[in-house]
Structure 1
Amino acid sequence: MSATYELRGNVAVITLNNPPVNGLGHATRLGITQGLEKAEADSAVKAVVITGAGNAFSGGADIKEFGSPKAMAEPNLLSVIAAVEASSKPVVAAIHSVCMGGGLELALGCHYRVAAKGTQVALPEVKLGLLPGAGGTQRLPRVLGVETALNMIVSGEPVKSEMLASLPGQKLFDKLVDGDVVTAALALAAEVADKRPLPLVRNLKAKHPNADGYLQFARNSVGAMSRNYPAPLQCVEAVANAVYKPFDEGMRLELVAFQALMLTPESRALRHVFMAERATSKIPDVPADTPVRDVKKLAIIGAGTMGGGIAMNFLNAGMPVVMLEMKQEALDRGVATIRKNYEAQVKKGKLTQEKLDVRMGLLTTTLNYGDLKDADMVIEAVFEEMGVKEKVFKALDEVMKPGAILASNTSTLDVNQIAAFTKRPQDVIGTHFFSPANVMKLLEVIRGEKTAKDVLATVMALGKKIKKTCVVSGVCDGFIGNRMIEQYSRQGGFLLEEGATPEQVDKAIEKFGFAMGPFRMGDLAGNDIGWYIRKRRYVEQPEMIYSKTADVLCEMGRYGQKTGAGWYDYKPGKRDAIPSKEVVAMIEKVRAEKGITPRKISDQEIVQRLVYALVNEGAKILEEGIALRASDIDMVYLTGYGFPAFRGGPMCYADTQGLFNVVASMRRFQKNPRDDAKFWEPAPLLAKLAAEGKTFS
């Protein structure tokens, strides 16, 4: 049952029971209304308590019903709340643990509310490109005041119940309790059983001492911060309606806005992201109940930028880490950098000195492989060269205990070949962290041909523990993210030769929504990294063509921010990208040598070539089984490469544009004599889906 009914004396208790967060699916909504009807018909019942089983009152909508007819089937949440309000007997919400979205809207429809301390309270709909659609924008300002309610609705962030209960004049909670919330709710139900009239939130006023001024300030500030997202400003207008319009009119306008936002590409993209993030952990042949290995102690090989950043993830999670280097000076530098990073957090108030000391206390260092023998897992973060990896993994194979997981932080190399350097390929896996590893959310988990299922399950669970979005990838050169970004970068180079400047390309894709364009990104990562990969490509894949400009740039010693000069110039100590006359002259020289007459290139062409390059390579990756699903590719780009969330990732964006139109654009790019016509042949999967009128998702 999704909602149970029981009598406790003369009080009916309706318990939501739809794990894991008591989502308000159709069966649950039906259970609530049936329970209310049963209580109404029983003369012995004097009051009703609504609560949630397990670890939540209710987290809101049932994500299993997202986008399906059941989501709005009657009784929908509006009808349920109307039934609660219409009850002739007092209805008390016993709120605990999690009370979010529709769960909070349901509680606001009750006559009384008792909350347990520590309850997370939120209206997070804005994070899905929506606004609360069952009265949240109308009722919350009436119980918390306009400013507090608007801040919660626009941010979507959870607030602790005790913080809300401490606000002067708040009418959200009638009682805040330390003990059992249902017991407290039963006591309140007995106390109010005969009180009439029953209080309704809808009858309260949404107040602010200077509503006109505050709401205009909110419009200005929210509009400036949510340029590509329509929902936050709609939230402001909905709350304004709570102030200025009758309740029923405000409710009508809230529903109109909610339905309009549901149809926006931004909301569709954000809802896709919400579901995609949850799908990444689902591996078809590795059940959720697969036993995992016990990982209590980590070893890290390499104390450089990447090794130190990886170590911080585990120190933050309270796990002991031993870090190995070949020279003491390198170890000292690595430890000093970790300490410096933590000290910067202390200065910003994000970390206490006590926690800094605890984390640094979990870190030990060594120059001896033998000191790693007790570690349950080791992550190698050494130079990206197969010969170096071979030496490391052969040494690890000798010293690591049986059952220890051996992971490589390689960003492009063959994990199967690395595994073959050991006598235990089943224990080898790739863990591709993104730089800076202590900040970036993405972790590509590379599954080798012989990687054991329990090793994969363990690493996925460990990734969750260190708060990463883990995406499984098969083995190929560059895996998902770097394989695709190479095609994106190649297009950037061709655009330079054809007539664009680094600044124009970067500005066009940043206007599209990327955090950073390809040339600013290259300067940040180091242009020499791409140069090293291209040199390998010239030997292994001589048919793959590149613009000459990137090689010439590196030959000039312009590696990026670390050398103070790359595609842009940089002033010492600053990261501001300054257009470089020297680079423009270099590009013009390359064009002249190749006999290219520059042409004017539109921003639309720049965006389409860069993004559709990702899409075409992504389709190949999907067809080859390197990625499990199109949404996994989207998550890689959203969490690791700065793709705009409001566009949902490259594969989702292609779906919204229509795959027929994407393929038509690719056919057009094939005719460009300065581009790579072979690359623009649509991937077979993409061509098939486009011909059938289907989408990746």
Structure 2
Amino acid sequence: MSEAVTCEVLDGVAILTMDNPPVNALGHAVREGLWTHLGAIAQDDTVRAVILRAEGRTFPAGADVREFGSPRAAPILSQVCDRLEACSKPVIAEIHGTALGGGLELALACHFRLADKSAKMGLPEVNLGVLPGGGGTQRLPRLVGAEVALDMMLSGKPVHAQQAEATGLIDKAVNKNLRQATMATARNLIAHNAGPRPTRAQTVGLGDPAGFATAVAAARTRHATTQRVNIARIINCVEAASLLPFEVGLAMERQAFDELETGPQAVALRHAFFAERRAAKIPEREGATLREVKTIGVVGAGTMGSGIAISCLDAGFPVTLLERNSEGLEAGLAKIRTNYENSVAKGRIDAQTQSDRMARLTGSTDMQDLGAVDLVIEAVFEDETVKRDVFAQLDQVMRSGAILATNTSYLDIDALAATISRPEDVVGYHFFSPAHIMKLLEVVVGSKTDPNVVATGFALAKKLRKVPVRAGVADGFIGNRILAAYRLAADFMVEDGATPAQIDHAMRVYGFPLGPYQVLDMAGLDISWARRKRLAAVRNPKDRYVAIGDKICEKGWFGQKTGRGYYVYGGENGPIENPDVLAIIDAERLEKGIAPRSFSDDEIQMRCVAAMANEGARLLDEAVALRPSDIDVVELYGYGYPRHRGGPMMAADQLGLLTVENALKSYQPEERQFWSPSPLFAELIKNGRHFSDLNEQ
């Protein structure tokens, strides 16, 4: 008998208790224990009611992630749910913590559901490329109707107990003494000789067929252009709940789950899930002594500095925001104040929370005020001279052992660290804009950075609710190195015959929310122009150089902020392709003697993905990135890479490394050095391996 599930009979009530720390995941031991105990309960005439509960901090929070993508030993979850629902004695689910995925499906298979008022319930399978596979697509709509069921399944977001009670998902949200309440309910059912109440027999959610059909049609319209194949299957299965017999709907759900689980999107989404967790495993955390960080200083009150300050305030830190003059400081403080006022207006936080966070914020124009803080994050203009000056001042005032982090996007952290007396305290924190919203944080490790400083950065990232990824020192680190390759591949195609709008369209079709030229316009063309000018001195004159972006900037067109860039802004119909940019492109082609040719969406996508994967392989060769999945995490969280593709390294694995290498070689006659495949491709192909095989090394 599995120890993951125990059974105690008290006054005719069988109490089934799941105990599988830390989150009571529904692994084989739990499923087998439930199956066996339910079989015994069915034969025990002394049992007249059943309570299903869990020890620890939560009701089952989903499947055992170690079983993802592999055959599951019987009984599988759907079988357990069916046996639970078929129990001849009334079964009460006692829900606390977070009942997610299979955990909620277990509760749906019970006959009655009580939940602690703080509990949350959800079906997040959509985020893993599958759908609820334990009967959830059939049972949930019978309780709450199509609109609520589809919202839960397609968003993957959990609902609070009070909302669950209001929709009929649970019978009652209990304010206190949940265990006492469920036992009282069980005894009451026994006293009234009540029998089971199978969810499959419920019809309240099916009571308005026209409304049900309307909700299904609305969901189809809303997701008509989605590339996520599981979304259409979820909608179909929910529709089946109202049109087909229960058993037929279950069979349809099972078939859809099995087909989706082994599909490329589910594989990529599982990869993304594990990659985020793997990124936290860095060598510096072994035996580390974390430095104390209780107070934070931020130098620079511009857009990035203000966003970083908000992120730190949100995490509960006292923050000193420093600017060189009072005008700049007041502008930064106003940004922060306005952000919190908007959050209150939208109901995201209450007025007291706003007041508490603003009370932790101190503005200053005196560098001496940073002398006592534990960590300073420098977020001034991306100019090495400016940053060196700030570093020199901070070196004079910061206390011994305090951490100095730079938010540079491209600059050499080792060169900056070498200018002060404490290079071991210097680390890169590359936030992404807007810093209080974007989840990615590249923690850039210099050659002399103390390992304890690196480990402290990862611990801080968790408090800031960021996803940290370790990066070595290199121009652009991981993310911007990949971005530069992506943009260069796009620029070559534009010069050879594509238009920026065609490139943008193809990459949106691939799954990016915006194409590369839309992103350039949004970020400001002057930012990448400044980098190109900075690198001009070290550029190999033999390398192909596309000057289109430079010539646009020379016109003073920097994108959205100036009303013109690759697109023209401000019109009634939204951005339109800039005809003057098309003229610049034509002139460049004429000057270089390039005869324009056409590009298909497939070729555009392949060239861009191959360029990104190849640059990623080079980053691995150079030890800038620890593992391929770290590169994918950076691209997913920092650059909008479509999650159902898994990231450029996973995409290369799924395309086939030989296919990608051959594509790179076929492009080489055009730009030999840029397209030259990393030797890592040949090494992996020779040994029958993939990038994913390197992730656990």
Task: For 2:203, give the aligned amino acid.
Answer: K
The 10-residue stretch of structure 1 (631-640 or 351-360) with the greater mean CA deviation from structure 2: 351-360
Normalised by the length of structure 1, the TM-score is 0.93
The 10-residue stretch of structure 1 (190-199 or 369-378) with the greater mean CA deviation from structure 2: 190-199
Shift of the alpha carbon at 1:8? 4.6
Q: Deviations over 1:312-370 (max 9, x none)?
A: 11122232211111111111222222223333444444444443333333221112111
1:183 aligns with 2:185: no
Shift of the alpha carbon at 1:551? 2.1
Q: Deviations over 1:635-689 (max 9, x none)?
A: 21111112122222111111221111111111111133xxx21221211112222
Alpha carbons 1:219, 1:233 under 8 Å: kept: no
Unpaired stretches in structure 2, ≥5 consecutive residues: 693-697
Alpha carbons 2:521, 2:566 under 8 Å: kept: yes
Where do 1:3-152 residues align within 5 Å?
A: 3-8=5-10, 10-37=12-39, 39=41, 45-69=47-71, 72-152=72-152
Which residue in 2 is equivalent to 1:547?
546
Where do 1:101-500 residues align within 5 Å?
A: 101-167=101-167, 170=168, 172-193=169-190, 195=193, 197-205=195-203, 207-225=205-223, 227-287=226-286, 290-500=288-498
The 10-residue stretch of structure 1 (127-136 or 229-238) with the greater mean CA deviation from structure 2: 229-238
Shift of the alpha carbon at 1:124? 1.4
Alpha carbons 1:152, 1:158 under 8 Å: kept: yes
Alpha carbons 2:81, 2:135 under 8 Å: kept: no
Alpha carbons 1:294, 1:376 under 8 Å: kept: yes
Question: What SS class does the counterpart of residue 674 from structure 2 fall into?
Answer: coil
How has the CA–CA distance of structure 1 residues 554 and 376 changed in structure 2, closer, same or farther, with 3 Å as cutoff? same
**2: distance between equivalents of 1:461 and 1:626?**
21
1:618 aligns with 2:616: yes
Task: For 2:18, give the aligned amino acid.
Answer: L
Alpha carbons 2:645, 2:651 under 8 Å: kept: yes
The 10-residue stretch of structure 1 (234-243 or 297-306) with the greater mean CA deviation from structure 2: 234-243
Which residue in 1 is equivalent to 2:602?
604
Shift of the alpha carbon at 1:111? 3.1
**2: distance between equivalents of 1:374 and 1:464?**
23
**2: distance between equivalents of 1:597 and 1:129?**
43
How has the CA–CA distance of structure 1 residues 9 and 595 changed in structure 2, closer, same or farther, with 3 Å as cutoff? same
Task: For 1:415, give the aligned amino acid.
Answer: I
Question: What SS class does the counterpart of residue 14 from structure 1 fall into?
Answer: strand
Alignment equivalent of 1:688, drawn from 680, 683, 686: 683
Shift of the alpha carbon at 1:284? 4.2
Task: For 1:246, give the aligned amino acid.
Answer: P
Alpha carbons 1:89, 1:193 under 8 Å: kept: no
1:662 aligns with 2:660: yes
Unpaired stretches in structure 1, ≥5 consecutive residues: none
Question: What SS class does the counterpart of residue 520 from structure 2 fall into?
Answer: helix
Which residue in 2 is equivalent to 1:679?
674
Shift of the alpha carbon at 1:40? 5.2
Alpha carbons 2:284, 2:454 under 8 Å: kept: no
The 10-residue stretch of structure 1 (579-588 or 37-46) with the greater mean CA deviation from structure 2: 37-46
Normalised by the length of structure 2, the TM-score is 0.93
Question: What SS class does the counterpart of residue 404 from structure 2 fall into?
Answer: strand
How has the CA–CA distance of structure 1 residues 246 and 600 changed in structure 2, closer, same or farther, with 3 Å as cutoff? closer
Query: Aligned residue pairs: how many?
Result: 687
Task: For 2:638, give the aligned amino acid.
Answer: G
Alignment equivalent of 2:576, drawn from 575, 578, 586: 578
Where do 1:522-541 residues align within 5 Å?
A: 522-541=520-539
**2: distance between equivalents of 1:456 and 1:5?**
47
**2: distance between equivalents of 1:343 and 1:173?**
35
Task: For 2:227, give the aligned amino acid.
Answer: N
Task: For 2:180, give the aligned amino acid.
Answer: T
Alpha carbons 1:660, 1:691 under 8 Å: kept: no
**2: distance between equivalents of 1:380 and 1:367?**
14
How has the CA–CA distance of structure 1 residues 204 and 567 changed in structure 2, closer, same or farther, with 3 Å as cutoff? closer
Task: For 1:149, give the aligned amino acid.
Answer: A
Task: For 1:567, give the aligned amino acid.
Answer: Y
How has the CA–CA distance of structure 1 residues 6 and 447 changed in structure 2, closer, same or farther, with 3 Å as cutoff? farther
**2: distance between equivalents of 1:40 and 1:583?**
75
Shift of the alpha carbon at 1:112? 2.9
Shift of the alpha carbon at 1:91? 3.1
Shift of the alpha carbon at 1:43? 6.0
Shift of the alpha carbon at 1:207? 3.6
Alpha carbons 1:520, 1:577 under 8 Å: kept: no
Question: What SS class does the counterpart of residue 298 from structure 2 fall into?
Answer: strand
**2: distance between equivalents of 1:491 and 1:581?**
22
Question: What SS class does the counterpart of residue 51 from structure 1 fall into?
Answer: strand
Shift of the alpha carbon at 1:508? 1.8
Shift of the alpha carbon at 1:291? 4.6
Shift of the alpha carbon at 1:193? 4.0
The 10-residue stretch of structure 1 (193-202 or 233-242) with the greater mean CA deviation from structure 2: 193-202
Task: For 2:99, give the aligned amino acid.
Answer: C
Percent identity of equivalent pairs: 45
Alpha carbons 2:311, 2:464 under 8 Å: kept: yes
Q: Deviations over 1:92-151 (max 9, x none)?
A: 321111111111111122233222112101111122222111111111122223432232
Task: For 1:241, give the aligned amino acid.
Answer: A
**1: distance between equivalents of 2:207 and 2:54?**
36
Shift of the alpha carbon at 1:56? 0.7
Question: What SS class does the counterpart of residue 691 from structure 2 fall into?
Answer: coil
**2: distance between equivalents of 1:558 and 1:450?**
41
**1: distance between equivalents of 2:70 and 2:624?**
30
